[in-house]
Structure 1
Amino acid sequence: MPPMNLGMDVRTKGFTLVEILITLTVLGVLAAIVAPNLLGLLNRQRMNAVRGEILLALEQAQSNAKTTGSDQVVRFDTTADPPRYSIGTSWRNFNGISAGQIRLVTTAPSIQFNHQGLPDQEVIPFIATVSLVNFPNSKKCVMVKTLLGAMGTYEDSQCD
């Protein structure tokens, strides 16, 4: 018995041009909604990473000062693009940061920890603020707040 043809032409398999265009339009709208959120997430991650590196550098210098019994200095080159820092004499770049991505502002060009790990009292509070070049209102910072060298991380208006 031959197959029954229920009014469907065998050549109608696949998608029509209208179906493909509707699918592409929906995908385009979804991409337009997701792309800015993804970009914002990447930018926040960059700022968090730089802030984390600054905190780690300060903590490392403070620890080294206590361990070695000698002064340790952390310097920040905020005029370089991208900004960089040094502990001692070797300059380091922030991981994964390219020119034109972030801005670094510090309340002093350097901070020194004495042989007991205490910061130079003349620069307290020391604040290193990270922002995006294109979005300067979004800020993340590290603050050395006390004469004993207590440190913390903050965001936005807490960095002022």
Structure 2
Amino acid sequence: MPSFSGNELTNEHIDELRDAFEKYDLDSNGTLSANEVRLALISVGYEITEAELYDLIHSVAVRDEERLDLKKFIRMMAPRMANVDSDKSLCRTFNMIDRDRDGYVTVQDVRAIMVVLGEVVTDDDIKDICQAVDMDGDGRISLRDFVGFMHSPI
């Protein structure tokens, strides 16, 4: 497997990144602008805020450079490709827990999964779990909350 900055990429990952790069090099100049990078990231399953986008670009680009060639794009994405794969798995898990498919996990959903797992928990335990996973504090657990919690250091 090719290695970039200590992160292993499969040939499939490299091909996927190359395809995304070529597809979103809209002006065909061999580099991606910040907007083109964002589109390419979304196409490989990586959602990102504008601030995160510029942090990523600046992690591999020379100071004040805001265009990436293919090599820098792959180097930027290498550590994130494993997260894309794990995020797909987390999404499937979230969808299994979200029984009514409304995009949010409720206290009842958490209680039901605990029963399925054979865990004996109190109502207070379930409330604590839900509060811990509700990363944005809006009183409900979205997919973003769930993935963010699962990626957070414990």
Structure whose residues are more often strand by fraction:
1
Task: Assess same fold via TM > 0.5.
Answer: no
TM-score for the superposition, normalised by structure 2: 0.28
Structure whose residues are more often helix by fraction:
2
Instruction: Please tell me whether Structure 1 or Structure 2 has the larger radius of gyration of its CA atoms.
Output: 1
TM-score for the superposition, normalised by structure 1: 0.27
